[in-house]
Chain A
Amino acid sequence: MWMLDWLPPIVFYLLLAAGLLITIAGFFMGMIPVIGKYKIPLQIFGTLILAGSLYMIGRTENEEKWQARVEKLQGEVQAAERRAAEVSATVITKYVTRREVVEKRGKDIVQYVDREVVKYDNKCEIPKIVIDIHNAAARNEPLPEQLSLGDPVATPETPVKTGEHNSAALRMPKRAAP
């Protein structure tokens, strides 16, 4: 509200006092001839001034409290932004350091393989099926058709041939009596 920006708060307190005096004059000083003539307008005018000034005083005080809360919260936000930046920097430093360690260990092991495991290359032939399975696992793909498991996996809807089962059960030797 522009009035809060341009008028000092003391103005509204003075208006409050004036409104109070005018209202009292309008209600309680009607017996004085000069005031009695304007009794009704004084009451109305005094009440309006009183109410208006009370409202503006309330707004002024609320505005001050509101500004204080805004400043406090802005301070908290700035502090939180600084803490967030510190957290990010710490986390990233930890991650970069850890990644370097992982990479170095991996390279060390590969170097060891190239130096030591290479001695056994001639003793171990890697069949193509191993390569296919490795690649399928690396890509998370289903097994190639030629490597299928043969019989499909049984499901609750899979029909079961009971003839062979029953024949095998009938051929089983009888158990000896206890």
Chain B
Amino acid sequence: MRIFAICTALLLAGCSTPVPVKVEFPPAPPQLMEPCAQLETIDKPEVRLSELMSVVVRNYTHYHNCSDLVKIWQAWYKAQSEVFNSIGRDK
């Protein structure tokens, strides 16, 4: 009986081990790493209405580009997180 107990314990010595597979979160694409453009300013003491409007419109364009970049970042991160977290889950 003692031998049986010892043998059983030795048999169980080969227990399960964690699987050494390294998974890395993918790096962000370079397009998403571009910084937002700086807003334009008016660098002369006098400006015409049309020039002022042009600067304002361009600044609004910069804002929309930056806003889209943030939204795309969030969408990219959410999709990549779902892919990353699905690894190793039994389906």
Chain A residues in contact with chain B, CB under 8 A? 23, 47, 50-52, 54-55, 57-63, 65-66, 69-70, 73-74, 76-77, 80-81, 83-85, 87-88, 91-92, 94-96, 98-99, 102-103, 105-106, 109-110, 113-114, 117-118, 120-121, 124, 126, 128, 130-131, 134-135, 138-139
Q: Which of B40-76 contact A (CB under 8 A)?
A: 40-42, 45-50, 52-61, 64-65, 68-69, 72, 75-76
* Given known contacts A69-B19, A102-B64, A106-B60, A84 and B41 CB-to-CB distance under 8 angstroms: no
- Say yes or no: A121 contacts B83, CB within 8 Å: no
Shortest CB-to-CB span from A67 to chain B, Å, is: 10
- Say yes or no: A50 contacts B3, CB within 8 Å: yes
Which residues of chain A are near B72, meaning CB under 8 Å? 91, 94-95, 98
Known: A58-B14, A110-B54. 14 other contacts (CB 8 A): A55-B11, A55-B13, A66-B19, A70-B20, A92-B31, A95-B32, A95-B68, A98-B72, A102-B68, A103-B65, A105-B61, A106-B64, A126-B52, A130-B52
Residue ID in chain B nearest A127 by CB atoms: B46
- Say yes or no: A61 contacts B69, CB within 8 Å: no
B-side interface residues, number (CB < 8 Å): 53
Q: How far is the CA of A144 from the CA of B59 in the complex (A)?
A: 21
Tally of A-B Cβ pairs under 8 angstroms: 148
- Say yes or no: B83 contacts A83, CB within 8 Å: yes
- Say yes or no: A66 contacts B39, CB within 8 Å: no
